Amino acid sequence: MPAERLVVIGGVAAGMSAASRARRLNPRMEIVVLEKGDYVSYGTCGLTYLVSGVVRRPEDLIVYTPEFFRRERDVDVRTGHEVVEIVPGKKEVEVRAADSTYALKYDKLVLAAGGAPATSIPGVERPCVFTCNDLRGALALRDFLLARRPRRGVVIGGGYIGLEAAEALRAHDVDVTVLERSDTLLEGLEPEIGFWVNERLARHGIRAILNAAVNCVEPGLDESVQVVYGPRQELTAEVVVLTTGVAPRVELAARAGVELGSTGAIRTDDRQQTNLPSVYAAGDCAETTHLVTGGPVYVPLGTTANKQGRVAGENAAGGNARFPGVVGTLVTKVFGLEVAKTGLSQEAARAAGFSAEAVTIEARSRARYLGGQPLRATLVVDRESGRLLGGQLAGEEGAARRIDVLATALAARMTLSDFVHLDLGYAPPFGPVYDPLLTAAWEALKKIGRRR
């Protein structure tokens, strides 16, 4: 009896996780990965650091090469092979390579096509406009900065990639303006945390303009462009980085009859199974469940992609793994300032139907006499139940490691009354005797009138 064939569409985080997990569980399975780009299995979260020069060589971001997967894991990785159609009735995909097209049969299929930069702004096809969502784009931006030495830059989008891109441009002595269409950087950031982020950007010469939706990018003098935003306001730039977010690549799946969810990404169950038999989806093309709201959510992060890919690959190989969902944990660094958030902001929590309250405190990351730095912590709680709904932290140190405590508490559906009694580690080099998270929790208990 011939071995089953697993075909994986997409060869970055989710796709290669799926292929690797399937191989471990089923040594006999034939596994083919089809990747339309030139690279697989690389650290997308390090791309902005390649642009800045912190990461010196693109090879440093590559975890494994296609040759490694072929030789060591018996996975047939085909770069430069783009799937142009899925035919579920025949259980085959149509593939276009450099000099040929062919049909490839599958027994199991994993959709891991990822996400694409949201490029609905007219004029972003101009030569000095770049994205930083894949290795090719990051290399193009880095080479442009080194060769052309632009003086003025605009980053369109104030999410974590946008702020990292802005910092990368400053490393090349570019004067940078960040344009963000909403009223906060890092979507959903609470005002008390956002103030520190804005202050840090300004300290390093970066101007952030909020409520600044970009209308178009028009040609300017010489090789510059005019970035038009708001009610006909303009900025001149020699380089523009588009970081307006990620849209799931779902057109191929939708044409094949794969059901999309309310987020616009592919709907799956907790086994990463789509509505089509033997077809799974994972990563930036798929939605998942938010563990705080219980509803669908689209969280295009590498951590989510790798976990979903592992589950999809295990089930495609005959296993029964499950992915419960996420709480939306994000960590970044803005010129040395750690910024972290998880769960819901106060605004998002109220929109989801919770009776949400927020409390912000300022404390020290560790004992003052051992160099403790200011740390700001915000907790979002439900007044009715006392349940933790979200949290955010910012500071020179200690924010990134503490957000994991909050993420764990959210996954466990902990209440404030539970949380304040957590036995967190203490020693003066690492934290104050009352951890800032516990201090914030006590203040939140006071605010909602639940002293227990």
| HEC-encoded secondary structure of 136-153 | HHHHHHHHHHHHHCCCEE
When pLDDT is averaged across residues 43-68 and rounded to a whole number, the result is 92
Predicted pLDDT at 308 = 98
What is the Cα–Cα distance from 88 to 105, expressed in whole angstroms? 10
Predicted pLDDT at 231 = 87
Predicted pLDDT at 452 = 40
Predicted pLDDT at 450 = 53
When pLDDT is averaged across residues 20-47 and rounded to a whole number, the result is 94
Q: What is the pTM of this model?
A: 0.93
Predicted pLDDT at 155 = 98
CB-count exposure of residue 199 (10 Å: 0-12, 13-18, 19+): exposed
What is the Cα–Cα distance from 399 to 340, expressed in whole angstroms? 6
Residue 1's pLDDT band, with cuts at 50, 70 and 90, is low
Annotation marks residue 132 as catalytic? no
Length of the chain: 452
Residue 451's pLDDT band, with cuts at 50, 70 and 90, is very low
State the average pLDDT for the chain. Answer: 94
Give the residue carrying structure tokens 């924010």: 399
Task: Give residue-wise pLDDT tens across range 387-425.
Answer: 999 999 999 999 999 999 999 999 999 999 999 999 999
Topology of domain 119-244 in CATH is FAD/NAD(P)-binding domain (3.50.50)
Class of the domain covering 5-115+247-316:
alpha beta
Residue 232's pLDDT band, with cuts at 50, 70 and 90, is confident
Task: Give residue-wise pLDDT tens across range 245-285.
Answer: 889 999 999 999 999 999 999 999 999 999 999 999 999 99
When pLDDT is averaged across residues 366-374 and rounded to a whole number, the result is 90
When pLDDT is averaged across residues 112-139 and rounded to a whole number, the result is 90
The closest of 347, 424, 430 to 390, measured between CA atoms, is 347
When pLDDT is averaged across residues 164-177 and rounded to a whole number, the result is 97
**45, 128, 216, 285: which is the annotated catalytic residue?**
45
**124 token code pair:** 């972003």
The answer to whether domain 5-115+247-316 and domain 119-244 are alike in fold is: yes
Residue 138's pLDDT band, with cuts at 50, 70 and 90, is very high
Task: Give residue-wise pLDDT tens across range 177-198.
Answer: 999 999 899 989 999 999 999 9
pLDDT at 240 over 90: yes
Residue 44's pLDDT band, with cuts at 50, 70 and 90, is confident
Predicted pLDDT at 154 = 98
pLDDT at 210 over 80: yes
Alpha helices by DSSP H, listed for 229-301, are: 251-255
CB atoms within 10 A of CB 138: 26
CB-count exposure of residue 158 (10 Å: 0-12, 13-18, 19+): buried
Could you give the percent of the chain with pLDDT greater than 70? 99
- Give the start-to-end residue ranges of the domains of the chain: 5-115+247-316, 119-244, 332-446
What is the Cα–Cα distance from 107 to 86, expressed in whole angstroms? 13
When pLDDT is averaged across residues 90-110 and rounded to a whole number, the result is 96
Topology of domain 332-446 in CATH is Enolase-like; domain 1 (3.30.390)
What is the Cα–Cα distance from 122 to 206, expressed in whole angstroms? 25
